[in-house]
Structure 1
Amino acid sequence: MSGHSKWANIKHKKAAQDTKRSNLFQKFAKEILVAIKQGGNDPTKNARLRLAIEKAKAKNMPNDNIKKLLSKNEKDGKNFTEVTYEGYGPNGVAFLVECLTDNLNRTSAFVKAVFNKLGGNLGTTGSVSYLFDVKGQIVLDQEKYNPDQVFAKLLDLDIIDFLNEDNVIVIEVSPANLIKTKESLEKAKITEFLSSEVLKIPKSYINLSEKNLEKVEKLIDILEDNDDVQNVYTNLG
């Protein structure tokens, strides 16, 4: 199958963002607590919880931290509200800003202020989300796994795309099939993943000059440094 994964860009941007985000583990903890509240603290019966744990482990969140969170039940922790803000940043770059917050007024005021200050505009629900597809994405290192052998293990599965470039293997599936696909790979002794998560992937990308790129990256950095912001998605190429 063909297509461009944009993995090279995503990889470098995510690495830089993760380094800057000192509150990364707090964000993972929030996601785990929300998943527990929705479906209980057993990862084998709660798909969202399992994905949240795997994402946390991939970024080296200590196992002891995760175990403490799993000792909680549906009634523990704060009542976080999930909210997504949609809009455009500088130079027409589309933004989806996913938040988990215990104070909607605080979070809304922050996001609106940042967009206004840096030349962006927030829109209504649906004004930007149509530019993105929601997909499960599994990424493997080509130095560890042969693309042809991996693809052979996926022939009986319902995958959307199989990309082989930038020294990685990218497998795209529907969000509902992410865990099933990952489990099938694990049964085939393919057990080391660069990432395995549900993402919002742009249908097309915008490329900017270095000068214009700085303005957009500044907006991304400020948003991601906020405790209430879980994920920032853009169609920046």
Structure 2
Amino acid sequence: MSGHSKWATTKRKKAKTDVARAKAWNKLIKEISIAAKLGGGNPDANPRLRAAILKSKSQSLPTKNIESAIAKGTGANSGTEMTEPLYEGRGPAGIAIMVQCMTDNKVRTVAEIRNIFNKNNGSMGESGSVSWAFTYKGVIIVDAEKYPEDQVMDLVLEAGAEDMSTEDGVHEISTSPEAFDAVSKALENAGIEMMSAELSYVPNDPVKLGHDDAVKLLKLIDKFEDHDDVQEVYHNAEIDEADMDAE
């Protein structure tokens, strides 16, 4: 499994500037509000909301912001009707990319996403053109230096996790979407802190990139993540941490 690549990407997101963090927080708030609007404000009865809260906490979104986003979502006037299109395409070196958006205007968003692809060594494809290269699953990261492998593995496998690997100082736990909630709750109940927890499109066969293509891809990802309608960007590239730092 692509644990190293996933955790390196997570660390890169955490290390961004305050301005970038504020933009990331806005995306988290949007997701919490939509999840609360669609499924109610009780995370125990709304798995999507619970997943959004777990992800928000792992990115240090303050509790008051989470509570405010839930209140907004469950309020009578909770905003414009939103849709959640998923756009697919190719990046540098043919890397598969999926861009998850949340928008009130799909016509505007699809044009702008296509433009980002075209201007940054990429091309947008049809629905289904690259999604076969990914599996939708839960990914949970736990600090391996704080929690022994046996302790965590026994717990998560009993709760329904599919797999766990330990590398680069972290345990990466993989679950089906259906088991994600049970596994994350089991960790919480055992007092094990999660460094990251989210439902994600994970590449089936990561593709190793050289330095030049890695830098091009990271610039493309940054362009997507700067767009207000983009919630998440998924890709099947394996990138050295040195290239991430140099970018």
TM norm structure 1: 0.92
Matched with 2:206 is 205
Q: Which stretch shifts more, 62-71 or 121-130? A: 62-71
Superposed CA deviations along residues 28-61 of structure 1, whole A, max 9, x for unmatched, are 1110111012111111211101111121122121
- Partners of 1:43 and 1:8 in 2: CA distance: 26
Whether 2:165 is the aligned partner of 1:167: answer: no
Whether 2:215 is the aligned partner of 1:217: answer: no
Matched with 2:191 is 189
CA distance 1:66–1:22, change in 2 (3 Å): closer
Matched with 2:3 is 5
Whether 2:47 is the aligned partner of 1:55: answer: no
CA distance 1:65–1:188, change in 2 (3 Å): closer
Between Structure 1 and Structure 2, the one with more helix by share is 2
Shift of 1:158: 2.4
CA distance 1:18–1:40, change in 2 (3 Å): farther
1:7-156 to 2 correspondence within 5 Å? Answer: 7-16=6-15, 20-72=20-72, 73=74, 75=76, 76-156=78-158
Q: Secondary structure at the match of 2:207?
A: coil
Write the letter of the residue equivalent to 2:70.
L
Q: Secondary structure at the match of 1:151?
A: helix
Q: Does the CA contact (< 8 Å) of 1:38 and 1:74 recur in 2?
A: no
Q: Which stretch shifts more, 73-82 or 221-230? A: 73-82
Q: Does the CA contact (< 8 Å) of 2:2 and 2:203 recur in 1?
A: no
Q: Secondary structure at the match of 1:154?
A: helix
- Partners of 2:232 and 2:35 in 1: CA distance: 16
Aligned residues between the structures: 234
CA distance 1:189–1:210, change in 2 (3 Å): same
Structure 1's unaligned 5+ residue stretches are none
- Partners of 1:135 and 1:31 in 2: CA distance: 18
- Partners of 2:35 and 2:17 in 1: CA distance: 22
TM norm structure 2: 0.88
CA distance 1:175–1:74, change in 2 (3 Å): farther
CA distance 1:208–1:223, change in 2 (3 Å): same
Q: Which runs of at least 4 in structure 1 moved beyond 6 Å after TM superposition?
A: none
CA distance 1:161–1:43, change in 2 (3 Å): same
- Partners of 1:228 and 1:183 in 2: CA distance: 30
Structure 2's unaligned 5+ residue stretches are 239-247
Shift of 1:8: 4.6
| Backbone CA RMSD of aligned residues | 1.8
Q: Which stretch shifts more, 8-17 or 57-66? A: 8-17
